[in-house]
Amino acid sequence: GAGVSQSPRYKVTKRGQDVALRCDPISGHVSLYWYRQALGQGPEFLTYFNYEAQQDKSGLPNDRFSAERPEGSISTLTIQRTEQRDSAMYRCASSIGVSWETQYFGPGTRLLVL
């Protein structure tokens, strides 16, 4: 069966541009999580959704970052006016809901801001 997919896998953009990162969770998974992972570090929580509702966005670094999951399935993480410090691996994970800690991670999107 299909796992969590993310697109694009790599994104190179110029400083000041907006980027949209997509996550397609495992079918039927209620919860969807976004993380950012710097090189040599563990994932850092950004935000999560139950169905279409954003339950916790306390990890979003600033108001340039936003996320949505309008139909409770695919999610988009948007970064406006990108800065070089936004360069990182952005990972998405999903879980059934009840066993929320059993999160299945996607391959990530490597973002490079020049």
Partner 1 sequence: GQQLNQSPQSMFIQEGEDVSMNCTSSSIFNTWLWYKQDPGEGPVLLIALYKAGELTSNGRLTAQFGITRKDSFLNISASIPSDVGIYFCAGQPSGSARQLTFGSGTQLTVLP
Beta bridge partners of 19: 79
Contact 73, 56 (CB under 8 A): no
23 binds partner 1 per the rule CB under 8 A: no
78 binds partner 1 per the rule CB under 8 A: no
Of the pair 59, 72, the CB lying nearest partner 1 is at: 59
Residue 42 and residue 37: Cα distance in Å, rounded? Answer: 6
Q: What residue type is assigned to position 45 of the chain?
A: F
**Subset of 84-103 contacting partner 1 (CB under 8 A):** 91, 93, 100-103
Residue with tokens 């952005």: 90
56 binds partner 1 per the rule CB under 8 A: yes
Which among 14-22, 43-51, 66-74, 79-87 is the span making contact with partner 1, rule CB under 8 A? 43-51
Q: What is the dihedral of CA 98, 103, 28, 110, to 10 degrees?
A: 150
Chain residues binding partner 1 by CB under 8 A are 4, 31, 33, 40-45, 48, 55-56, 58-59, 91, 93, 100-108
